[in-house]
Amino acid sequence: MNLGASHHDRNTHSSGGGGREDCWSDGATSTLIEAWGDRYVRLNRGNLRQKDWQEVADAVNSGRDGVKPKKTDVQCQNRMDTLKRKYKQERAKPPPSKWSFFNRIEALIGGDASANKKLTGSTFTIKPKSKSLSQGVKSTESSSDDDDEVRKKQREVDVGLSDGAACRELARAILKFGEIYERIESLKRQQMMELEKQRIEFTKDLEFQRMNMLVDAHLEMEKLKRQKHFTGSGKKCKSENRS
């Protein structure tokens, strides 16, 4: 798909900015559509927030074309408004459109895009439809039907690509969630092991203290027995000496 834009489009005036837009190159415009489209689909085709527009501007400024001067989030928003108006003008013309960005914008904000909201994050196989034209149809009508069929197929392909990007985002989110869950479980296991280790150490200390108390009590009893034995022996010796 050609990513370039016409010279007329690069000089389009932006009514949203109140004046003439800064010059946008073909590459910068392509990067803008890609960055905006990813976030537009991620938000279920809702309006981008200021944070999202800033991310779009960062993506445009860090593109391979090296945009100079740097684009702001407001300039990116004004540029997208211009592209949307250009798309509406092209769509009102007889097909097919010669505007190189038409198919990409059509896939994102076309008439069928709202009906495909529920398909975001899902994949489907695109099967080419066979042409079944009546023999009595005039050649001019046949040509118009062919153009409509080509545009419809191209729109289905572009929507499929957008859904594929949503699937990749969903897969990355699931993998990230799995990593976070694994880290939490690992920390829980470490804490359980640490608690078990502390319990074992406490049990050992308690058993050691109990043994010390038993030994001390045994020694004290032996000491009392020896004292009693010595006292009894001394009294017996005194009685024998008197007799």
pLDDT score of 133:
38
Rounded CA-CA distance 167/151 in Å is 24
Residues contacting residue 108 through CB under 8 Å, at least 6 positions apart: 33, 37, 40, 41, 45, 162
Rounded CA-CA distance 72/21 in Å is 12
Specify the number of domains making up the chain.
Answer: 1
Is 213 part of any domain?
no
Is 35 part of any domain?
yes
Is 47 part of any domain?
yes
Query: Sorting pLDDT into bands at 50, 70 and 90, what band is 145?
Result: low
Nearest by Cα to 76 from 87, 61, 91, 88: 61
Rounded CA-CA distance 194/197 in Å is 5
Computed over every residue of the chain, the mean pLDDT equals 77
- Reported as a single tens digit per residue, the pLDDT across 213-242 is 999 999 988 888 888 877 777 666 666 666
Please name every residue paired with 19 in a beta bridge, in sequence order, or none if there are none: 14
- Output the pTM of the full model: 0.40
- Reported as a single tens digit per residue, the pLDDT across 11-56 is 343 333 334 456 898 899 999 999 999 999 999 988 999 999 999 9
Is 188 part of any domain?
no
Is 81 part of any domain?
yes
**SS3 label, residue 125:** coil
Rounded CA-CA distance 39/176 in Å is 19
Is 227 part of any domain?
no
Is 92 part of any domain?
yes
- Reported as a single tens digit per residue, the pLDDT across 183-192 is 999 999 999 9
> Which residue in this structure is represented by tokens 């640490």?
194
pLDDT score of 141:
53
Is 210 a residue whose pLDDT tops 70? yes
Is 172 part of any domain?
no
pLDDT score of 193:
92
pLDDT score of 23:
85
Nearest by Cα to 27 from 56, 64, 79, 76: 64
CA distances from 183 to 1, 172, 180 (A): 43, 17, 5
Residue 3 CA from chain centroid, whole number: 27
Rounded CA-CA distance 105/97 in Å is 12
Rounded CA-CA distance 8/23 in Å is 11
pLDDT score of 215:
93
Is 10 a residue whose pLDDT tops 60? no
Nearest by Cα to 106 from 83, 81, 130: 83
Nearest by Cα to 28 from 89, 75, 97: 75
Tokens of 64: 């391979």
Range of the domain at 91: 1-109
Rounded CA-CA distance 51/54 in Å is 5
32, 79 contact by CB (below 8 A): yes
Query: 162: burial class by Cβ within 10 Å (0-12, 13-18, 19+)?
Result: buried
Query: Who wins on pLDDT, 81 or 223?
Result: 81
pLDDT score of 17:
38
Is 125 a residue whose pLDDT tops 60? no
Preceding amide of 95 cis, omega within 30: no
Query: Sorting pLDDT into bands at 50, 70 and 90, what band is 134?
Result: very low
